[in-house]
Amino acid sequence: MVFRRPSLKRYGSYTKRLWPAAPFLLCLIVLIHAHYPVTAAGTQYEIHAYLQDMLWENTADGALDVSGILRLTLSPTPFPPSTNFGVEASLLLRTPSSFSPLHAAWRQEKKLLLSEEVKFSTNEVLIPFRATVLEADDLKSQWWATAQIATAPPLDVVVHQPWDDSFSLGERFIPFPEVAGYQLLRGDFHIHTNKSRDAAEAPSPENRAIESYQYGYDVISLTDHFHMYAYDLAKDTAEQIGLIMLRGMETGMVSLTGGEHFVALWEGEMPTYQPKDEHAWSREPSGRTAFYQNQVKGIAESGGLLIYAHPNLGSGDFTAAVKWMLENHYFSGIEYRGTWRNFIFDLALEQNLSLIASSDIHTKRANIDPRQAPVTLILVDKADPAGVMEAIREGRTMAWHNEGTLVGSERWVKAYVEAAVEVSYEGGEIILTNGGGLPLRGTVYYNGGSRPVILPSLSTVVIGRAEEAPAEVEIRWANVHYGPNRTLHTKHQVAQ
Ligand SMILES: [Zn+2]
Ligand SMILES: [Zn+2]
């Protein structure tokens, strides 16, 4: 296969002035979209190239990390198995200073990042990239990143679409404030890959890691039915792109369709626990399959923790097995969705179980509405697998709901809102600032009056004028709950 060397012909580019004193990540999502017509096996195909999720992040030593994902897709589907396209991508970082590639799939040639040759064996290839720009102090003026693709055989560019900035929950790089001294991570702890029998359409473990990174998760676990080896397949990829990963699997009681399911998580290394009769544990010690109590103990003894998966029981009561696990504190967390019964929320608060918002996704995330991405917010001492496990065991989580609500214990949701929201008074105006990634809404009370307010993520809203700064502002948050029908109220001093 012969590649045409990149001719530096630009098909898409963007420029962004850096904020020299930006105290948090500079957030932008970049999309460069190109079409390449290809003919193979008598069919006209198109390669679509997207450069997206670009992040420029200041590192502690004054350098700048640049990262993103190049996504190449081939349409129409299905991909003809006898065809083999080769693609080589290059990124030109037009910066006044030097840089070095951080991702193994890329190499450096002067100011070009060149990808390894990529072969299409399915309709989509994701190529994450990362580089460090040294001497970031030089970057006070505008600079450019340009992407281009060389293909075999050589193809011409037909269309490109310029970049756009956007924010939404579930996308990457929305800064979160520190909460009560903890760092906040976004997690999804129940994800299937194509290594699950019922998830043939799902991405491979490696592509799931890339996809999760792309959608904004900081930490994930791949929890296929019956086994825990997806972790081993995705581990290197996750490490390269800086995604934290726990080892996981889904298992549980007898009958895959009717029995209770549990998500088991470990820090990483292959545990001593050997899965047995997965999804078929017996309820009785004399049963034909492994007795659930022995399996549950085995998971705990090997350093694992358990989350009760989708406990949306029709009966409104737990089975004897689940009661035994609750009474003996074998659950660290419980999945919860707003449409499920309130007693699960009550139970989580009573037993200090982590509230877990999981996708349990069996398909590509692109196939579902991105706004439907559930997020578990984890408060960690340290952003690593041990830190995440500890936080789940200690109940330091909140759940961000599909329909736009934040739920958790009063302690954590209050700490979050107090860290994210600031009330100030300036030039006769009362101003609310939301410095966090979650959109908030509610009613504001001050000087004897009230008004509704909507605070998108990272927004500043003027709520009214006053002769003098009010002594105190109270807010009832319509989308923040610390129990069924318990809505958070916060009181704020007014900064002047
Ligand atoms: Zn399940
Ligand atoms: Zn599942």
To which H or E segment does residue 233 belong?
helix 230-241
Q: Which of 342-356, 383-397, 419-433 has the highest mean pLDDT?
A: 383-397
* H helices present in 111-184, as ranges: none
Contact call for residues 158 and 151 (beta carbons, < 8 A): no
**What architecture does CATH give domain 420-493?**
Sandwich (2.60)
Q: Which of 212-216, 371-375, 395-399 has the highest mean pLDDT?
A: 395-399
Start-to-end CA distance of the chain, whole Å, equals 66
Contact call for residues 368 and 361 (beta carbons, < 8 A): yes
Beta-sheet pairing, 124-133 with 397-400: unpaired
* Residue 164 pLDDT > 50: no
Count of residues in the chain = 496
Q: What is the pLDDT of residues 447-473, one digit of tens each?
A: 888 888 888 776 778 888 889 999 999
User: Phi, psi (5° rounding) for residue 215?
Assistant: -85, -5
Q: What is the pLDDT of residues 255-306, one digit of tens each?
A: 656 789 999 999 999 999 999 999 999 999 999 999 999 999 999 999 999 9
Q: What is the pLDDT of residues 59-74, one digit of tens each?
A: 666 666 666 666 666 6
pLDDT at 172 (0 to 100): 47
- pLDDT grade, residue 234 (50/70/90)? very high
pLDDT at 113 (0 to 100): 64
- pLDDT grade, residue 142 (50/70/90)? very low
Low-confidence winner among 7-16, 92-101, 166-175, 238-247 (lowest mean pLDDT): 7-16
Question: Is the model more confident about 431 or about 297?
Answer: 297
| Closest ligand by atom to 257 CA | 1
Using CB atoms within 10 Å of the CB of residue 7, give its burial: 0 to 12 exposed, 13 to 18 middle, 19+ buried.
exposed
CA-to-CA separations, 24 to 18, 59, 113, 197, 458, in angstroms, rounded: 12, 11, 26, 42, 11
Q: DSSP assignment, residue 458? A: T
Instruction: Give start-end residues of each CATH 2.60.40.10 domain in the chain.
Output: 420-493
Angle at 330 between CA 326 and CA 333, to 5 degrees: 85
Q: How far apart are CA 10 and CA 27, in angstroms?
A: 23
How many Å lie between the centroid of ligand 1 and the Cα of residue 432?
42
| Closest ligand by atom to 359 CA | 2
Q: Average pLDDT over the chain, rounded to whole? A: 76
Q: What is the pLDDT of residues 18-52, one digit of tens each?
A: 322 222 222 222 333 334 445 555 566 666 666 55
Helix, strand, coil content of the chain in percent (nearest 5): 15, 40, 45
CA-to-CA separations, 181 to 39, 57, 177, 283, 389, in angstroms, rounded: 57, 22, 10, 43, 17
Question: Is the model more confident about 365 or about 390?
Answer: 390
Nearest to 440 by CA among 428, 458, 427: 458
Low-confidence winner among 170-179, 197-206, 294-303 (lowest mean pLDDT): 170-179
CA-to-CA separations, 356 to 22, 45, 352, 392, 401, in angstroms, rounded: 32, 42, 12, 9, 10
| Closest ligand by atom to 223 CA | 2
Say if domain 12-161 classifies as CATH 2.60.40: yes
Assign residue 82 a region (left: φ > 0; alpha: ψ between -120 and 50; beta: otherwise). alpha
pLDDT at 60 (0 to 100): 62
- Percent of the chain past pLDDT 70, that is, above it, reads 60
User: Hey, what amino acid is at 60?
Assistant: A
Question: What is the CATH number assigned to the segment(s) 183-404?
Answer: 3.20.20.140
Low-confidence winner among 108-122, 223-237, 336-350, 429-443 (lowest mean pLDDT): 108-122
How many Å lie between the centroid of ligand 2 and the Cα of residue 193?
10
How many Å lie between the centroid of ligand 2 and the Cα of residue 188?
12
How many Å lie between the centroid of ligand 1 and the Cα of residue 349?
23
CA-to-CA separations, 42 to 83, 150, 158, 396, 418, in angstroms, rounded: 11, 22, 20, 57, 61
Quickly tell me which residue has 């009560």 as its tokens: 180
pLDDT at 437 (0 to 100): 76
pLDDT at 460 (0 to 100): 79
pLDDT at 110 (0 to 100): 67
Contact call for residues 490 and 478 (beta carbons, < 8 A): no
Beta partners for 185?
Answer: 378
How many Å lie between the centroid of ligand 1 and the Cα of residue 310?
7
Beta partners for 429?
Answer: 426, 465
Quickly tell me which residue has 């008598």 as its tokens: 42
pLDDT at 214 (0 to 100): 72
Give the pair of three-digit tokens for residue 39: 């003919």
pLDDT at 261 (0 to 100): 93
pLDDT at 473 (0 to 100): 96
Question: Is the model more confident about 475 or about 93?
Answer: 475
How many Å lie between the centroid of ligand 2 and the Cα of residue 191?
7
Low-confidence winner among 6-15, 266-275, 339-348 (lowest mean pLDDT): 6-15
- pLDDT grade, residue 386 (50/70/90)? very high
pLDDT at 436 (0 to 100): 80
Angle at 249 between CA 245 and CA 253, to 5 degrees: 155
Instruction: Give start-end residues of each CATH 3.20.20.140 domain in the chain.
Output: 183-404
* Residue 213 pLDDT > 90: no
* Residue 120 pLDDT > 70: no
Assign 183 to helix, strand or coil. Answer: strand
Q: DSSP assignment, residue 267? A: S
- pLDDT grade, residue 11 (50/70/90)? very low
Q: How far apart are CA 277 and CA 290, in angstroms?
A: 6
Nearest to 248 by CA among 274, 272, 229: 229
* Residue 315 pLDDT > 50: yes
Quickly tell me which residue has 């190239």 as its tokens: 49
How many Å lie between the centroid of ligand 1 and the Cα of residue 239?
27
Beta partners for 34?
Answer: 49, 160
Q: How far apart are CA 111 and CA 109, in angstroms?
A: 6
| Closest ligand by atom to 191 CA | 2
Name the pTM for this structure: 0.69
* Residue 95 pLDDT > 80: no
How many Å lie between the centroid of ligand 2 and the Cα of residue 364?
14
Assign 415 to helix, strand or coil. Answer: helix
Low-confidence winner among 100-104, 232-236, 261-265 (lowest mean pLDDT): 100-104
